[in-house]
A = this chain, B = another copy of it.
Amino acid sequence: MEMAQDRELVEQWRSIQSAYFRTAGAIDRELEARFNIGLNEFEILDLVADNADACRMKQLGQRTPMTQSALSKVVDRLQKAGLITRQSCEDDRRSLFLELTDAGRALHADAAVAHRTLLQENLSQTG
């Protein structure tokens, strides 16, 4: 026994899901194909690029819905790909500062253009 109100809720939810999957999927495929990084990797690059000055893992954690451990692994991959550096921080040696490498900065610049374009294409859609 469903009420009309429930239907609406479920519709709203499906529409969010659909927008999310469509958009995330499109971006992910394109970034993967052209730059060989996934959406999560890009989002971290993007956040680090935004914070011109060095940026702690902890702070990043607060700006993405990613888990701390997911974040740690994403940064691992970015580092292995030579796009980012982890430098331990003097005043608290548990912390790490993240910084883009030149390659990271270059890739980010290009990827960001693709990212914004795909956001525009996908978020404006109705369904």
User: Footprint of B on A, CB under 8 Å?
Assistant: 2, 6, 9-10, 12-13, 16-24, 46, 65, 112, 116, 119-120, 123
Query: What are the residues of chain B within 8 A of A112 when measuring CB–CB?
Result: 2
Total copies of this chain within the assembly? 2
Closest to A21 in B: B65
Q: Contacts A12-B123, A123-B12: A116 and B6 contacting too (C-beta < 8 A)?
A: yes
A126 to chain B, nearest CB (A): 14
Q: Which listed residue (B16, B18, B116) contacts A9, Cβ 8 A?
A: B116
A63 to chain B, nearest CB (A): 9
Distance, CA A18 to CA B19, complexed state (A): 13
Distance, CA A22 to CA B65, complexed state (A): 8
